[in-house]
């Protein structure tokens, strides 16, 4: 079992800083996914930024806006935790 995600911070460069409860921080690059149909809504930067959240215990985008776990786009938390640890890049 991987540590819980406690915070996500999207950037205007289509990356998201993901903070885990054990102190690990990773930066997830969403750009490679934007060409896939399921991620099309995220191409709009304001939506990408505003809908980014934690749902299903992982990084997600609340597509419907009503916090419905079945209609969100989420990223496998195991994949996120396996990313290389980074220093926070936001001031």
Identify whether the C-beta of residue 77 lies closer than 8 Å to the C-beta of residue 57. yes
Q: Over the stretch 6-38, which tens digit does the pLDDT of each residue have?
A: 999 999 999 999 999 999 999 999 999 999 999
**Residues 5-81, CATH architecture:** 2-Layer Sandwich (3.30)
How far is 25 from 19, CA to CA, in rounded Å? Answer: 5
**Domain ranges in the chain?**
5-81
Specify the DSSP class assigned to residue 32.
G
Q: Over the stretch 32-79, which tens digit does the pLDDT of each residue have?
A: 999 999 999 999 999 999 999 999 889 999 998 899 888 899 999 999
Identify whether the C-beta of residue 42 lies closer than 8 Å to the C-beta of residue 35. no
26, containing H or E segment: strand 25-29
53 against 3, higher pLDDT: 53
Model confidence band, residue 90 (pLDDT cutoffs 50, 70, 90): low
Model confidence band, residue 89 (pLDDT cutoffs 50, 70, 90): low
């Amino acid at each position: 079992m991987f540590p819980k995600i406690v915070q996500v911070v999207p950037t205007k460069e289509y990356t998201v800083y993901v903070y885990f409860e054990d102190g690990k921080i990773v930066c997830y690059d969403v750009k490679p996914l934007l060409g896939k149909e399921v991620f099309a809504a995220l191409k709009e930067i304001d939506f990408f930024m505003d809908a980014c959240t934690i749902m299903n215990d992982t990084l997600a985008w609340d597509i419907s806006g009503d916090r419905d776990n079945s209609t969100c786009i989420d990223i496998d938390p195991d994949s996120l935790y396996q990313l290389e640890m980074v220093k926070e890049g936001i001031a």
